[in-house]
Protein backbone atom coordinates (compact mmCIF):
# COMPACT_ATOMS: atom_id res chain seq x y z
CA UNK A 1 0.00 0.00 0.00
CA UNK A 2 1.30 3.44 -0.84
CA UNK A 3 1.68 5.80 2.09
CA UNK A 4 0.55 9.30 1.12
CA UNK A 5 0.96 11.15 4.40
CA UNK A 6 3.32 10.74 7.33
CA UNK A 7 5.13 12.67 10.01
CA UNK A 8 8.08 14.51 8.46
CA UNK A 9 11.44 13.13 9.57
CA UNK A 10 12.29 16.65 10.79
CA UNK A 11 9.57 16.47 13.47
CA UNK A 12 10.08 14.36 16.57
CA UNK A 13 7.44 11.83 17.62
CA UNK A 14 6.41 13.92 20.61
CA UNK A 15 2.97 15.23 21.48
CA UNK A 16 2.92 19.02 21.18
CA UNK A 17 1.68 21.15 24.07
CA UNK A 18 -0.21 23.70 21.99
CA UNK A 19 -3.80 24.72 22.79
CA UNK A 20 -6.70 23.47 20.66
CA UNK A 21 -6.92 25.47 17.46
CA UNK A 22 -3.41 26.92 17.72
CA UNK A 23 -1.60 27.13 14.40
CA UNK A 24 1.95 26.76 15.81
CA UNK A 25 1.68 22.99 15.17
CA UNK A 26 0.79 23.52 11.52
CA UNK A 27 3.67 25.95 11.07
CA UNK A 28 6.09 23.52 12.77
CA UNK A 29 5.02 20.91 10.25
CA UNK A 30 5.59 23.28 7.32
CA UNK A 31 9.10 24.05 8.55
CA UNK A 32 9.81 20.34 9.02
CA UNK A 33 8.53 19.53 5.53
CA UNK A 34 10.80 22.20 4.05
CA UNK A 35 13.83 20.72 5.89
CA UNK A 36 12.88 17.22 4.63
CA UNK A 37 12.24 18.27 1.06
CA UNK A 38 15.49 20.22 0.82
CA UNK A 39 17.37 17.38 2.52
CA UNK A 40 18.92 19.70 5.12
CA UNK A 41 17.74 18.22 8.43
CA UNK A 42 21.24 17.09 9.37
CA UNK A 43 22.70 20.49 8.50
CA UNK A 44 20.06 22.49 10.32
CA UNK A 45 20.47 24.32 13.62
CA UNK A 46 17.24 25.85 14.85
CA UNK A 47 16.81 28.59 17.43
CA UNK A 48 13.73 28.40 19.64
CA UNK A 49 12.64 31.72 21.10
CA UNK A 50 10.63 32.78 24.15
CA UNK A 51 6.87 32.51 23.70
CA UNK A 52 4.44 29.66 23.20
CA UNK A 53 6.92 28.04 20.81
CA UNK A 54 9.65 27.95 23.46
CA UNK A 55 9.51 24.13 23.48
CA UNK A 56 10.20 23.96 19.73
CA UNK A 57 13.51 22.33 20.65
CA UNK A 58 11.53 19.25 21.62
CA UNK A 59 9.61 19.16 18.34
CA UNK A 60 12.18 19.75 15.61
CA UNK A 61 14.31 16.68 14.96
CA UNK A 62 17.50 18.66 14.37
CA UNK A 63 20.10 20.44 16.49
CA UNK A 64 18.45 23.23 18.48
CA UNK A 65 19.43 26.11 20.74
CA UNK A 66 16.95 27.93 22.96
CA UNK A 67 17.49 31.70 23.04
CA UNK A 68 16.60 34.48 25.49
CA UNK A 69 13.53 36.59 24.70
CA UNK A 70 14.08 38.45 21.41
CA UNK A 71 17.72 37.41 21.00
CA UNK A 72 17.26 34.52 18.55
CA UNK A 73 18.65 36.46 15.54
CA UNK A 74 21.82 37.29 17.52
CA UNK A 75 22.21 33.66 18.59
CA UNK A 76 21.65 32.57 14.98
CA UNK A 77 24.25 35.11 13.82
CA UNK A 78 26.77 33.78 16.33
CA UNK A 79 26.30 30.25 14.99
CA UNK A 80 26.07 31.03 11.28
CA UNK A 81 29.27 33.09 11.32
CA UNK A 82 31.29 30.19 12.71
CA UNK A 83 29.47 27.43 10.78
CA UNK A 84 28.72 29.13 7.43
CA UNK A 85 27.93 25.84 5.65
CA UNK A 86 25.13 24.88 8.06
CA UNK A 87 21.50 25.97 7.77
CA UNK A 88 20.46 28.22 10.65
CA UNK A 89 16.89 29.26 11.35
CA UNK A 90 14.95 31.04 14.08
CA UNK A 91 11.31 30.53 15.03
CA UNK A 92 9.91 33.62 16.79
CA UNK A 93 6.61 35.12 17.91
CA UNK A 94 5.53 38.72 17.47
CA UNK A 95 6.35 39.77 21.03
CA UNK A 96 9.75 38.19 20.65
CA UNK A 97 10.59 39.58 17.21
CA UNK A 98 8.63 42.82 16.96
CA UNK A 99 8.92 44.12 20.52
CA UNK A 100 11.82 43.07 22.75
CA UNK A 101 13.89 41.75 19.85
CA UNK A 102 13.55 44.60 17.35
CA UNK A 103 17.21 45.60 17.49
CA UNK A 104 18.37 42.03 16.93
CA UNK A 105 16.05 41.33 13.98
CA UNK A 106 16.66 44.68 12.27
CA UNK A 107 20.43 44.39 12.49
CA UNK A 108 20.53 40.73 11.46
CA UNK A 109 18.48 41.77 8.42
CA UNK A 110 20.59 44.84 7.72
CA UNK A 111 23.79 42.78 7.85
CA UNK A 112 22.19 40.34 5.45
CA UNK A 113 22.87 37.44 7.79
CA UNK A 114 22.36 34.25 5.87
CA UNK A 115 19.67 32.89 8.16
CA UNK A 116 16.00 31.96 7.78
CA UNK A 117 13.46 33.50 10.13
CA UNK A 118 10.00 32.06 10.74
CA UNK A 119 8.01 34.89 12.28
CA UNK A 120 4.67 33.83 13.75
CA UNK A 121 2.34 36.80 14.09
CA UNK A 122 -0.71 36.00 16.22
CA UNK A 123 -1.35 39.62 17.26
CA UNK A 124 -1.01 38.79 20.94
CA UNK A 125 1.31 37.53 23.70
CA UNK A 126 0.07 33.96 23.94
CA UNK A 127 2.43 32.52 26.53
CA UNK A 128 1.88 35.17 29.20
CA UNK A 129 -1.94 35.07 29.03
CA UNK A 130 -2.96 37.34 26.21
CA UNK A 131 -1.40 40.78 26.64
CA UNK A 132 -1.12 43.36 23.87
CA UNK A 133 1.57 42.64 21.31
CA UNK A 134 3.22 45.19 18.99
CA UNK A 135 1.09 43.61 16.26
CA UNK A 136 -2.22 43.76 18.17
CA UNK A 137 -4.81 45.45 15.93
CA UNK A 138 -6.50 48.73 16.78
CA UNK A 139 -9.64 48.00 18.73
CA UNK A 140 -8.48 44.48 19.60
CA UNK A 141 -9.17 43.51 23.21
CA UNK A 142 -6.36 41.91 25.17
CA UNK A 143 -5.73 41.51 28.89
CA UNK A 144 -3.74 44.76 28.86
CA UNK A 145 -6.05 46.60 26.45
CA UNK A 146 -9.34 45.56 28.06
CA UNK A 147 -11.26 48.28 26.22
CA UNK A 148 -9.49 47.61 22.95
CA UNK A 149 -6.18 48.97 21.63
CA UNK A 150 -6.28 52.71 20.95
CA UNK A 151 -3.93 54.91 18.96
CA UNK A 152 -3.89 57.38 21.82
CA UNK A 153 -2.57 54.92 24.37
CA UNK A 154 -0.62 52.42 22.32
CA UNK A 155 0.06 53.82 18.86
CA UNK A 156 -0.11 51.63 15.80
CA UNK A 157 0.55 47.96 15.10
CA UNK A 158 3.92 47.33 13.40
CA UNK A 159 4.13 45.80 9.94
CA UNK A 160 7.47 44.03 10.24
CA UNK A 161 7.64 42.51 6.75
CA UNK A 162 7.21 45.91 5.09
CA UNK A 163 9.71 47.49 7.49
CA UNK A 164 12.38 44.84 6.98
CA UNK A 165 11.89 44.80 3.20
CA UNK A 166 13.28 48.36 3.09
CA UNK A 167 16.67 47.04 4.24
CA UNK A 168 19.20 46.22 1.55
CA UNK A 169 20.42 43.15 3.43
CA UNK A 170 17.15 41.25 3.06
CA UNK A 171 16.89 38.69 0.25
CA UNK A 172 13.47 37.15 0.71
CA UNK A 173 10.46 38.37 2.65
CA UNK A 174 6.92 37.07 2.32
CA UNK A 175 3.79 37.30 4.45
CA UNK A 176 1.51 34.29 4.42
CA UNK A 177 -1.49 33.08 6.40
CA UNK A 178 -2.83 29.89 7.95
CA UNK A 179 -6.57 30.59 7.87
CA UNK A 180 -7.47 27.94 5.26
CA UNK A 181 -5.79 24.98 3.52
CA UNK A 182 -4.99 26.94 0.36
CA UNK A 183 -3.12 29.54 2.36
CA UNK A 184 -1.40 26.89 4.45
CA UNK A 185 -0.04 25.37 1.24
CA UNK A 186 1.18 28.81 0.12
CA UNK A 187 2.81 29.26 3.53
CA UNK A 188 4.66 25.98 3.00
CA UNK A 189 5.97 27.14 -0.38
CA UNK A 190 7.16 30.43 1.12
CA UNK A 191 8.96 28.70 3.98
CA UNK A 192 10.72 26.38 1.52
CA UNK A 193 11.80 29.39 -0.55
CA UNK A 194 13.14 31.11 2.56
CA UNK A 195 15.35 28.09 3.28
CA UNK A 196 16.37 27.84 -0.38
CA UNK A 197 17.47 31.50 -0.25
CA UNK A 198 19.87 30.59 2.55
CA UNK A 199 21.15 27.53 0.67
CA UNK A 200 21.88 29.72 -2.35
CA UNK A 201 23.67 32.31 -0.23
CA UNK A 202 21.19 35.07 -1.08
CA UNK A 203 21.12 36.59 2.39
CA UNK A 204 18.51 37.19 5.05
CA UNK A 205 15.13 35.50 4.52
CA UNK A 206 11.97 35.88 6.60
CA UNK A 207 8.46 34.49 6.34
CA UNK A 208 5.79 36.19 8.43
CA UNK A 209 3.04 33.70 9.15
CA UNK A 210 -0.30 35.12 10.30
CA UNK A 211 -1.53 32.83 13.00
CA UNK A 212 -4.40 32.44 15.45
CA UNK A 213 -4.55 32.27 19.22
CA UNK A 214 -8.14 31.18 19.77
CA UNK A 215 -7.77 30.71 23.53
CA UNK A 216 -6.43 34.21 24.21
CA UNK A 217 -8.59 35.80 21.55
CA UNK A 218 -11.59 34.23 23.34
CA UNK A 219 -12.93 32.48 20.24
CA UNK A 220 -13.53 29.00 18.94
CA UNK A 221 -10.82 27.74 16.57
CA UNK A 222 -13.06 28.33 13.53
CA UNK A 223 -14.07 31.83 14.72
CA UNK A 224 -10.40 32.59 15.18
CA UNK A 225 -9.52 31.54 11.63
CA UNK A 226 -12.35 33.72 10.30
CA UNK A 227 -11.26 36.64 12.48
CA UNK A 228 -7.72 36.32 11.14
CA UNK A 229 -9.03 36.37 7.54
CA UNK A 230 -11.41 39.29 8.11
CA UNK A 231 -9.26 41.49 10.38
CA UNK A 232 -5.59 40.60 10.20
CA UNK A 233 -5.24 39.98 6.47
CA UNK A 234 -6.59 43.47 5.54
CA UNK A 235 -4.08 45.17 7.90
CA UNK A 236 -1.24 42.75 7.12
CA UNK A 237 -1.53 42.20 3.36
CA UNK A 238 -0.23 38.86 2.14
CA UNK A 239 2.42 38.61 -0.54
CA UNK A 240 6.09 38.78 -1.39
CA UNK A 241 7.77 41.95 -0.11
CA UNK A 242 11.28 41.12 -1.24
CA UNK A 243 12.69 38.52 -3.57
CA UNK A 244 16.31 39.09 -4.48
CA UNK A 245 16.34 35.87 -6.49
CA UNK A 246 13.94 37.46 -8.98
CA UNK A 247 15.41 40.10 -11.24
CA UNK A 248 13.81 43.48 -11.72
CA UNK A 249 10.67 43.25 -13.88
CA UNK A 250 10.35 39.46 -13.67
CA UNK A 251 6.93 38.17 -12.70
CA UNK A 252 6.50 36.15 -9.54
CA UNK A 253 3.59 34.96 -7.46
Ligand X SMILES: Cc1ncc(C[n+]2csc(CCOP(=O)(O)OP(=O)(O)O)c2C)c(N)n1
- Residues binding other proteins (CB under 8 A): 41-45, 47-48, 54-55, 57-58, 60-68, 71, 74-79, 81-83, 86-87, 103-104, 106-107
The most distant pair of C-alpha atoms in the chain lies apart, rounded to whole Å, by 62
Whole-number minimum distance, CB 217 to other proteins, in Å?
Answer: 24
Structural contact between residues 115 and 77, judged by C-beta atoms closer than 8 angstroms: yes
Contact 175, 186 (CB under 8 A): no
Does the protein bind ligand X through residue 209 (CB under 6 A)? no
Binding part of the chain for ligand X, among 29-37, 122-130, 156-164, 233-241 by CB under 6 A, reads 122-130
Query: Of ligand X, other proteins, none, which one sits near residue 65, judging by CB under 5 to 8 A according to partner kind?
Result: other proteins
Is residue 52 involved in binding ligand X (CB under 6 A)? yes
Nearer to other proteins, 62 or 171 (CB): 62
Do residues 127 and 96 lie in contact, with contact meaning Cβ atoms separated by under 8 Å?
no
Indicate the Cα dihedral angle 135, 18, 148, 176, nearest 10°.
40
* β strands within the chain, DSSP E: 44-48, 63-66, 87-93, 116-121, 170-177, 204-210, 239-243
Q: Minimal CA–CA distance to 228: which of 27, 23, 52, 29?
A: 23
| Residue 74 contact partner, candidates other proteins, ligand X, none, CB within 5 to 8 A by sort of partner | other proteins
Contact between 50 and ligand X per CB under 6 A = yes
- The dihedrals phi and psi of 115, each to the nearest 5 degrees, come to -130, 165
Question: Which of the listed partners (other proteins, ligand X, none) does 128 bind, with a CB threshold of 5 to 8 Å by partner kind?
Answer: ligand X
Q: Rule CB under 6 A: which of 56-95 touch ligand X?
A: 69, 93-95
Interaction residues for ligand X, span 17-46 (CB under 6 A): none
Shortest distance (Å) from residue 94 CB to ligand X: 4
Q: Strand 204-210 to strand 170-177: parallel, antiparallel, or no bridges (unpaired)?
A: parallel
Q: Total residues at the site for ligand X (CB under 6 A)?
A: 16
- Binding residues for ligand X, rule: CB under 6 A, are 50-53, 69, 93-96, 122, 124-128, 133
Amino acid sequence: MKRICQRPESLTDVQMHYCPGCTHGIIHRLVAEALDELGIREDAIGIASVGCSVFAYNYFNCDMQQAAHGRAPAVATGIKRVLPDRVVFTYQGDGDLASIGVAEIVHAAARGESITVIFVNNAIYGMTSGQMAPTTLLGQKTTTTPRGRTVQDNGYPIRMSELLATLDGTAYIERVSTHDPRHVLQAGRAIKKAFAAQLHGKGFALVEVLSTCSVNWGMSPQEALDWLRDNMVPYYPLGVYKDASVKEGEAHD
